[in-house]
Amino acid sequence: MSAITCSHVEKSYGATSVIRDLNLSIEEHEFVVFLGPSGCGKSTLLRMLAGLEDISGGEVSIGGKVVNDLDPGDRGIAMVFQNYALYPHMTIFDNIAFGLKRQKVPKAEIQQRVEAVSKTLGLDPYLGRKPAELSGGQQQRVAIARAMIKTPKVFLFDEPLSNLDAKLRNHMRVEIARLHQSLKTTTVYVTHDQLEAMTLADRIVLLRDGKIEQIGSPAEIYERP
Ligand code: ADP
Ligand code: ADP
């Protein structure tokens, strides 16, 4: 069974069509990158998978279930944003724990799970700090930790590295690849960076003007004669 299916998915803003009759099937454990120039519809499509954007037509399924009318919190997904979207007044601990607290997970379990993901991401020394006291790379790790702790069926990343400098971007890219190798969580990752796409993706979905222009492994897309 596919982890995610888009069937004849459409999106328009008024008379402007942004995603057109898009069909796509993503397998379980796959790392799929949406790649393409600014304005081609990558974020819109990702946000429709997340439930942050209404679908104008067609169907999105996650885990075999049509999710068109489901809230983001009920889709089994966790999203990581470009701007990290942390709560500035909360500690790192509380930022990471936020989703679990809302689900009324018992305190001792929250404590244990926060400590486990913090350790994986090297965040344990910072749990008592506020986001502004952390570097950009550390803040992005917090955002990833907050997504990981929910043990979602699907990770959605929206240009997670574009606010980092080149060195840190390389470092985090490797970290994300390693995380995927160990967790194997189905991932959809939006970027306009070809290097990120080539190094992270099992399959690249090349978008242009709201349509799939090409789809395939990095080798199939970039090493064709
Ligand atoms: P990408 O992520 O590939 O840069 P987007 O998905 O952000 O592209 O945008 C795709 C197209 O949809 C762009 O032409 C953009 O101007 C348009 N668009 C995005 N959001 C809105 C909106 N709220 N209202 C009108 N047009 C929008
Ligand atoms: P409550 O959640 O009712 O405020 P807790 O005893 O769970 O009480 O924790 C109090 C606060 O201490 C938490 O909200 C969190 O900010 C912080 N905290 C708990 N564990 C840690 C930890 N390992 N490192 C840093 N801060 C922590």
Residue 222 in contact with residue 216, Cβ under 8 Å?
no
Q: Report the alpha-carbon distance of residue 41 to residue 58 in Å, rounded.
A: 16
Q: List pLDDT tens digits, range 65-110.
A: 999 999 999 999 999 999 889 999 999 999 999 999 988 999 999 9
What's the pTM? 0.90
Taking only the tens place, the pLDDT of each residue in 175-214 is 999 999 999 999 999 999 999 999 999 999 999 999 999 9
The C-alpha atoms of residue 167 and residue 211 are separated, in whole angstroms, by 33
Q: What residues form DSSP beta bridges with 157?
A: 80, 189
CA 41 to chain centre: 15
Question: Cα(125)–Cα(175) distance, rounded to whole angstroms?
Answer: 18
**Ligand 1 centroid vs 160 CA: distance in angstroms?**
18
CA 38 to chain centre: 18
Distance between CA atoms of residues 98 and 121, nearest Å: 17
pLDDT for residue 225 is more than 90: no
Q: Is residue 129 packed enough to be buried (19+ CB in 10 Å), middle (13-18) or exposed (0-12)? A: middle
With a threshold of 0.95, tell me whether the complex ipTM lies above it: no
- The finding on whether 203 has its CB within 6 A of some atom of ligand 1 is no
Atom of ligand 2 nearest to the CA of 94: 16
Mutational test site, ligand 2, from 93, 115, 117, 119, max ligand atoms within 8 Å of CB: 93
Per-residue pLDDT of 23-51, as tens digits, reads 999 999 999 999 999 999 999 999 999 99
